Amino acid sequence: MKAVVCKSYGLPDTLVVEDRPALEAPPGKVVVSVRAASVKFSDTLLIQNKYQNKIDVPFVPGGEVTGVIKAVGAGVERWKVGDRVSAQTGQGGFAEEALADPDKLSSIPDSIDFAGAAGLSNAYGTSYYALIDRGQLKAGETVLILGASGGVGLAAVEIAKIVGAKVIACASTEEKLAVCREHGADHTINYDKEDMRARVKEITGGKGLDVVYDPVGGDYSELALRDMAWGGRFLVIGFAAGPIPKIALNLPLIKGCSIVGVWIGQFSKKEPAKHRANVDQIWKWVAEGKIKPHISGRHPIEKAADALNEIMARKVAGKVVLVNE
């Protein structure tokens, strides 16, 4: 089977495609025949050894896949060969087969294809945990989403609309903003071209933002924080722009707002039952047609570097996935 290997840390073009022996299922594990693998922003950091979690080389990237169970190890009871699943693999997903823990699997509803389901647990799981658990977003409140056409950003747009919030989506091109509107955004701001603060003032009538969802960082974070409403919640998701903002603490004091950290990786480890309930709700919304993942790129696994380069060049709207046809 083919696998994409990070043999030494570096940019995407240093990844190597190898032929490896087919996997067998050890006790307590399953082998998934991978049909689609989610390519994430964090993969671009992991292969460079710049992510908050480190993986020793050599390793096969790919933390989330969808596919069909090919083999079940001794002691695995709930799953059987042939089941359509989504799997949180941690690593190993950029391959034709991947090992997974049975408790990190979810069944995929028939209404969604493998590619559409590939990045769902992480992107929507992050945005669900952020907006609903950490941000306490309520119907009628206004949420501003930075990087709103990205993987977690677009998931946040859809979940905020399900909650009944008013969504202001920010992105860097008209094409990306159009995708946000297609997924329910009420207002859009091109934060590279427009005066974000003036637009927020106009849209909220001067009241400000109840919740900010920030996966971008850089200069945008403080601009958004300065427009918080009294009692607002600023959700720290990530730093896709690169720089990690350093915020003067008089700002949350004056605004009476909270700055709230969000990390799905730790949440899923420390509160697994709650995380599982969130993910189950997300799959229910998929089955009900309330969530429609946007896939802007599908590449064969040999082209994993192209997919990662697209993310680094800000060319992706929604998700980019690797597919094994």
Ligand X SMILES: NC(=O)c1ccc[n+]([C@@H]2O[C@H](COP(=O)([O-])OP(=O)(O)OC[C@H]3O[C@@H](n4cnc5c(N)ncnc54)[C@H](OP(=O)(O)O)[C@@H]3O)[C@@H](O)[C@H]2O)c1
Residue 263 as a binder of ligand X (CB under 6 A): the answer is yes
Contact between 232 and ligand X per CB under 6 A: no
What minimum distance in Å lies between the beta carbon of 220 and ligand X? 8
167: nearest Cα among 195, 137, 205: 137
| Cβ proximity to ligand X, 95 vs 240, nearer residue | 240
With CB under 6 A as the contact rule, which of the stretches 54-62, 63-71, 81-89, 145-153 interacts with ligand X? 145-153
> Segment near ligand X (CB under 6 A), from 14-22, 84-92, 135-143, 261-269?
261-269
Dist CA 297 CA 310 (whole Å): 9
Amino acid present at 88: Q
Tokens of 285: 């919304």
Q: How many residues bind ligand X (CB under 6 A)?
A: 27
Nearer to ligand X, 223 or 316 (CB): 316
Q: Which is nearer to ligand X, 33 or 42 (CB)?
A: 42
**Residue 234 within binding range of ligand X, rule CB under 6 A:** no
Q: With respect to ligand X, which residue has the nearer C-beta, 66 or 149?
A: 149
Please identify, among the stretches 81-89, 157-165, 297-305, 310-318, the one whose residues bind ligand X according to the rule CB under 6 A: 310-318
Q: Per rule CB under 6 A, is residue 42 in the interface with ligand X?
A: yes
Beta carbon of residue 251, minimum distance to ligand X (angstroms, whole number): 21
Candidate list 76, 160, 237, 259; residue touching ligand X; CB under 6 A: 237
Spatial distance between the Cα atoms of 30 and 78, rounded to a whole number of angstroms? 11
Q: Candidates 5-13, 29-37, 39-47, 85-93 — which segment interacts with ligand X by CB under 6 A?
A: 39-47
d(CA 134, CA 222): 20
Q: Report the alpha-carbon distance of residue 111 to residue 125 in Å, rounded.
A: 19
Q: How far apart are CA 174 and CA 149, in angstroms?
A: 11
CA 213 to chain centre: 13
Report the nearest approach of ligand X to the CB of residue 196 (Å).
Answer: 12
List, in order, residues 6 or more apart from 63 with CB less than 8 Å away. Answer: 38, 40, 42, 43, 88, 89, 90, 91, 93, 122
With binding defined as CB under 6 A, does residue 185 bind ligand X?
A: no
Look at residues 139, 144, 104 and name the one whose alpha carbon lies nearest to residue 272.
104
Q: Looking at 106, 126, 188, 221, which residue binds ligand X (CB under 6 A)? A: 126
> What distances in angstroms separate CA 208 from CA 113, 183, 204, 256, 292, one per listed residue?
39, 23, 6, 12, 29
- List the one residue from 46, 264, 295, 304 that touches ligand X (CB under 6 A): 264
Is the backbone peptide bond immediately before 272 cis, with ω within 30 degrees of 0? Answer: no
Q: x/- site string to ligand X, residues 73 to 102, per CB under 6 A?
A: ------------------------------
Interface residue with ligand X, options 49, 59, 161, 172 (CB under 6 A) = 172
| Of the candidate residues 40, 166, 199, 275, the single one contacting ligand X (CB under 6 A) | 40
Residues 178, 188: Cα–Cα separation, whole Å:
8
Stretch near ligand X under the rule CB under 6 A, chosen from 11-19, 168-176, 244-252, 289-297: 168-176
CA angle 252, 153, 96 (to 5 degrees): 135
Q: What is the C-alpha to C-alpha distance for residues 161 and 125, in angstroms, rounded to an integer?
A: 15
CA distances from 183 to 23, 38, 161 (A): 39, 20, 9
Q: How far is the CB of 241 from ligand X (least distance, A)?
A: 4
Residue nearest to ligand X according to CB distances in the complex: 150
Binding site residues, ligand X, CB under 6 A: 40-42, 126, 147, 149-153, 171-172, 176, 215-216, 237-242, 262-264, 311, 314, 316
